[in-house]
Homo-oligomer: A and B are copies of this chain.
């Protein structure tokens, strides 16, 4: 049996040193973080592995936008599956909008001031007004060239038209990193898209992405997963790998619990039964808030790769 080594912290400690201490301890949450850090390091170092990352929950409003963008630039991630909301909020910032810290006001008061709340994050309706104005211009541009499009193609075309190097959607387009969003319609982006299609000849095909996605999966020697929150985005990522017999390795970060059976809290082991993770694959779940845990893990990985 491996011993639990008591961990040490010190002044001027690097993040990777702290995770190294977690690795020496190896139990409870700190052990999970250390193992997830090691797995992510191995995934990035493996040149034959394509890394898929799912973005569920308010990651972009919650401060992880630059990390996602850096990972794309660094080719540490090769394919993204995002909620519609994360795409919407990425674009909102690209168009000059901002997210703000909630001051504990009542939701009815926020409503009266045109402020939407996501946990302790606020977004103003003025920024959504700009978002709407800009996205319509983008839709007009794209629809003038194409009348039927898949969601992934649409997001690629949108990304090319966004002028913000910090936008993950723009960066993904420039790096040719595909972005999928199976639930795109359920977002402000989706709402604008629907309204636009009402009076334009522009069809977004709900199933067409599967063709490109299955080719991408088929051409991947090995597949790794970074599963950040999410029910739909998590499952879509897992299910996409069925063609190759499942993920070769993966980490997930979630505060949801497994017993009630919803996919968001399900342990990654469960995916093995469905061939969405390979038997023998390396999997780790960290129970925690993704805005704490993922920056911690990724910063440690930058020192190790």
Interface residues of A (CB under 8 A from B): 1-16, 18, 21-22, 25-33, 56-58, 61-67, 70, 83, 85, 93, 98-103, 107-108, 110-112, 115-122, 151, 166, 182-186, 190-191, 193-194, 197-198, 203-207, 209-211, 229-232, 235-236, 239, 242, 255-266, 269-275, 279-280, 287-293, 295-296, 298-299, 302-303
| Residue of chain B at shortest CB distance from A57 | B262
Q: Is the CB of A295 within 8 A of B257?
A: no
| Alpha-carbon distance between A211 and B13 when the two chains are bound, in angstroms | 41
A299-B9 contact given A194-B207, A204-B206, A231-B230, CB 8 Å threshold: yes
Per assembly, the copies of the chain total 4
A287-B274 contact given A108-B279, A185-B182, CB 8 Å threshold: no
Q: Is the CB of B63 within 8 A of A272?
A: no
A259-B255 contact given A5-B63, A108-B279, A291-B27, CB 8 Å threshold: yes
The smallest C-beta distance from A215 to any residue of chain B, in angstroms, reads 12
Provide 10 A-B residue pairs closer than 8 Å at the C-beta atoms, listed in order of the A residue: A1-B103, A3-B100, A18-B299, A29-B289, A111-B275, A118-B261, A151-B206, A186-B235, A256-B257, A262-B264
The smallest C-beta distance from A3 to any residue of chain B, in angstroms, reads 5
